[in-house]
Amino acid sequence: MTWKTFATRRTVLSLLTLAACGGPLMAEAATLQFSGYTWEVRQGGGGPGPNNWDARNVWVDANGALHLKVMQRDGKWTAAEVTMTKALGFGTYQWQIEGRPDLMNRNLVLGLFNYTTPDIGPDGTNEIDIEFARWGNDAWPNGNWTIYPSVQGPKPLSTSFEISLDNLSTHRFTWSSDSVRYASLNGLRDVGDNTGLIKKKNFSPANAQKRLPQDPIPVHMNLWLFKGQAPSDGQPVEVVIRSFKFVPQ
């Protein structure tokens, strides 16, 4: 499904300061450091969802883990997103997670993915997703792997599946010019360690130059509400990303 627009995705927290001379307001993007990279923290409204994105829902703890939270603030449900300030290309992208995104409420979505920029292509192209979501329906599988093509026209490549995780788990994809290989594993695993493998899939389409992204694109991580709907149980949700790792091809 295509529900993202670049303009709303790239909205980040603005810190407004007034110059002493009474000059115009100057905006500066808020960032944080996580796993050796700089990330922009999102603030404001917009898709996907749409959601209300609140920078207070994102922080890095004393152990270096990234926290993403969905919660009510000032009477509104708010979501969390960060975007890497640089674009990464072919290689292995890996996330280590603490918690159970497989057990999240049906209206919650956890996204671990890279995503297009205007110079690369429009929304609905150039994206590789790992998503935990039931898309508002308890009967829907909770795991989703999706690849959007490098150009408009071809349909996305996608698979959905039911997955059961331990409290610590590892999720990765390896992206090359002609394939994307996904894997989910229980436990905290380093790149190349397939111990605890619980699910894998290899997408190697014909005409890969059009069916798979070919250019470097930034990494995103977000926790949000499907169609902007509050959790059906009314409870806040927090996900902890222990680490992100990229190994270039």
Provide the pLDDT for residue 154.
Answer: 97
Provide the pLDDT for residue 43.
Answer: 98
Are 109 and 225 a contacting pair, CB within 8 Å? yes
Mean pLDDT for all residues in the chain: 91
- Residue 183 domain-assigned (yes or no): yes
Q: What is the domain-level CATH number for residue 208?
A: 2.60.120.200
Looking at residues 192-207, what average pLDDT do you find?
98
Provide the pLDDT for residue 26.
Answer: 35
Looking at residues 164-177, what average pLDDT do you find?
98
Separation of alpha carbons 161 and 142, rounded Å: 6
Confidence of residue 29 (pLDDT cuts 50, 70, 90): low
Q: Would the pLDDT of 101 be above 80?
A: yes
Looking at residues 55-71, what average pLDDT do you find?
98
Provide the pLDDT for residue 132.
Answer: 98
CA 75 to chain CA centroid, nearest Å: 25
Separation of alpha carbons 238 and 133, rounded Å: 14
- Residue 116 domain-assigned (yes or no): yes
- Residue 181 domain-assigned (yes or no): yes
Provide the pLDDT for residue 222.
Answer: 98
Provide the pLDDT for residue 17.
Answer: 27
Q: In the numeric block, which tokens belong to residue 188? A: 């905290």
Confidence of residue 9 (pLDDT cuts 50, 70, 90): very low
- Residue 140 domain-assigned (yes or no): yes
Chain segment 108-122, per-residue pLDDT in tens: 999 999 999 999 999
108 phi, psi to nearest 5 deg: -95, 145
- Residue 198 domain-assigned (yes or no): yes
First to last CA, the chain: 28
Q: Would the pLDDT of 66 be above 90?
A: yes
Range of the domain at 73: 6-248
Counting the structural domains of the chain, the total is: 1
Q: In the numeric block, which tokens belong to residue 31? A: 């960032």
Instruction: Say what percent of the chain tops pLDDT 90.
Output: 88
Nearest to 244 by CA among 71, 10, 42, 34: 34
Q: Would the pLDDT of 20 be above 70?
A: no
- Residue 62 domain-assigned (yes or no): yes
Chain segment 134-170, per-residue pLDDT in tens: 999 999 999 999 999 999 999 999 999 999 999 999 9
Provide the pLDDT for residue 28.
Answer: 61
Nearest to 61 by CA among 34, 100, 36: 34
Confidence of residue 58 (pLDDT cuts 50, 70, 90): very high
- Residue 1 domain-assigned (yes or no): no
